[in-house]
Amino acid sequence: AAHGLLLGSPPRGLALSDGERRLGELGIHSGDTLIVEEDTTKPMPESPIIAKRSAPNLVRETLPVLARRVVPADNSCLFTSIYYVVEGGVYDPACAPEMRSLIAQIVASDPESYCEAVLGKTNHEYCEWIKREDTWGGAIEVSILSKFYQCEICVVDTQTVRIDRFGEDAGYPKRVLLIYDGIHYDPLERKLPNSDVPPLTIFSTTDDVVLAQALELADEARQKRQFTDVNRFTLRCMVCQKGLTGQAEARDHAKETGHTNFGEV
């Protein structure tokens, strides 16, 4: 507690009882030296400044954070990731064949909506193609699974630091998030650090904070170059061992040879 305020040389005391008075009225001018005397007769209260400084750190340590849950790069990462988030944090790579079959059934049942113009191949060809274990899922499959699970699926792209929201206009109450680096998908979850509390993977579509957190994650990954440039990444055909550069070369090679099993080098 301040016992008093001294001004000038030699120091003289100032009357501070009237809180309405201006500094000029007290005889204080620019350049004057002020001395504050501390009243040592009163016990010091706990510093509110210290309390304010320490509290946020304490809170920050116990707040859940949005994080990537890494799944295997085994040609089925999209399906493993979507299953993980829609099922509330259930990791099961064995889910992929069932999800591929489910997509094929949905597509086959509606050849008008899922025509060659949409799929890039005939309805029948697509159904056979998506059921193969070496086929990669993408936007078409995310869109189909968004409708099936009745939830908005947000794909956070680390190359462009943007979010593609599938099912955004459908009025779904639930939202799940994936992070995508140009080739690989991982699920996003909100979890307490160093805790056994189960992670949260299903959010409300009114929770825009989680979208902001997801963009922060994507931007951080982009700055660390944690993404794959699909036009420059190197692949090897696992059938004939030919080296290829980029998605376009891999696609052309598949058309020429029928080989569709590629591994990233």
77 is an active site residue: yes
Please check whether residue 91 is in contact with residue 84, taking contact to mean a CB–CB distance below 8 angstroms: yes
Amino acid of residue 73: A
* DSSP 8-state class, residue 189: E
Closest CA to 155 of 173, 168, 171: 168
Q: Which of 153, 161, 163 lies closest to 78 in space, CA to CA?
A: 153
Q: How far apart are CA 229 and CA 161, in angstroms?
A: 14
In one letter, which amino acid is 91?
Y
Spatial CA neighbour of 27 closest among 49, 47, 48, 5: 5
From the candidates 32, 39, 74, 110, give the one annotated as an active-site residue. Answer: 74
Parallel/antiparallel/unpaired status of strands 12-14 and 65-68? unpaired
Q: Which strand (E) or helix (H) includes residue 117?
A: helix 116-119
Whether 3 is catalytic is: no
Provide the β-strand partners of residue 48.
none
> What is the DSSP track for 143-201?
HHHHHHHTSEEEEEETTTTEEEEETTTTT-SEEEEEEE-SS-EEEEEEE-TT--SPPB-
Q: Could you check whether the bond before residue 10 is cis, i.e. omega within 30 degrees of 0?
A: yes
Q: Given the residues 181, 184, 186, 253, select the one marked as catalytic.
A: 184
Is residue 29 flagged as an active site residue?
Answer: no
> Which residues make Cβ contacts (< 8 Å) with residue 191, sequence separation at least 6?
64, 65, 67, 197, 199, 200
The residues assigned a catalytic role are 74, 77, 184, 259
